């Protein structure tokens, strides 16, 4: 029997996949706790969602996930406003980066810190909340690039997402019998601000299609899923066995 998670927290919810998931869950009648750095966009999104779905509750809060001390405070405040949280979607991330050895350490360091270290802080915070509540669903938004190192400007990004996927797999083993469900999502190229300059545009799907696939996998509480299934589930299997020199088309 599928569990209905009514109160959902999404980080990085001001645009792209985060905002898309918020719209999709709002359409299902779920209450939402949305946080991101850009509060003006969050306020606009909240107004949009409440106009379309007046029966739901939407709480918003400013959060820079790299401010580690603020993460538990913001999660707790949003939980209090909604009367609890039963699903946390760790979605906040950035796609900046540079070729390793190019002298742009700052860009790669920022990617690792935001996508992996900050994700760890969110994970720890969510797990503590779920343990107190007795159950919950943790969703980690990784990437298909977490399955294989790639050359060029996406090297640090791929490494950060490999770390997120690894944390998720560890947690799936830790909570194999519950009470916390864990989902590792590996989106392919889906239209968003982050993928606007992606090289693999021939593999791009529109935002609505991509978000629909993500939300479906989340609702089914899949353990690990490349989304959309086509073409990414078969391509992930191929990526895992390709020699490193042949991974450039996916970067």
Catalytic residue IDs: 157
Alpha helices in the chain (DSSP H): 16-27, 39-52, 70-82, 105-112, 118-133, 155-174, 207-219, 229-241
- Cα angle: 161, vertex 164, 167; to 5 degrees: 150
User: Is 93 within 8 Å of 143 (Cβ atoms)?
Assistant: no
Residues 6+ away with beta carbon under 8 Å from 118:
65, 66, 68, 71, 92
Phi, psi of 10 (to 5 degrees): -125, 125
- Nearest CA to 91 out of 177, 4, 41, 20 is that of 20
Whole-number Å distance between alpha carbons of 149 and 116 = 15
Residues 6+ away with beta carbon under 8 Å from 173:
none
Phi, psi of 89 (to 5 degrees): -110, 110
User: Is 74 within 8 Å of 63 (Cβ atoms)?
Assistant: yes
Whole-number Å distance between alpha carbons of 87 and 90 = 10
Residues 6+ away with beta carbon under 8 Å from 117:
66
Token readout for 242 is 């390709």
């Amino acid at each position: 029997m599928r569990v209905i998670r009514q109160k959902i927290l999404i980080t990085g919810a001001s645009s792209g996949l985060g905002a898309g998931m918020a719209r999709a869950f709002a359409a299902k009648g779920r209450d939402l706790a949305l946080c991101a750095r850009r509060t003006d966009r969050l306020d606009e999104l909240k107004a949009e969602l409440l106009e379309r779905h007046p029966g739901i509750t939407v709480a918003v809060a400013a959060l820079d996930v790299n401010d580690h001390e603020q993460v538990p405070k913001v999660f707790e405040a949003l939980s209090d406003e909604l009367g609890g949280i039963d699903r946390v979607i760790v979605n906040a991330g950035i796609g900046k980066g540079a070729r390793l050895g190019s002298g742009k350490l700052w860009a790669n360091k920022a990617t690792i810190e935001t996508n992996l270290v900050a994700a760890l802080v969110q994970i720890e915070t969510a797990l503590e909340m779920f343990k107190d509540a007795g159950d919950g669903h943790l969703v980690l938004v990784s990437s298909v690039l977490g399955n294989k190192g790639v050359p060029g400007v996406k090297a640090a990004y791929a490494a950060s997402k490999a770390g997120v996927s690894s944390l998720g797999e560890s947690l799936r083993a830790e909570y194999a019998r519950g009470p916390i469900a864990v989902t590792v999502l590996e989106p392919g190229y889906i239209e968003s601000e982050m993928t606007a300059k992606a090289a693999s545009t021939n593999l791009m799907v529109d935002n609505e299609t991509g978000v629909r696939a993500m939300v479906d996998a989340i609702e089914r509480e899949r353990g690990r899923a490349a989304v959309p299934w086509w073409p990414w589930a078969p391509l992930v299997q191929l990526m895992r066995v390709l020699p490193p020199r042949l991974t450039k088309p996916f970067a």
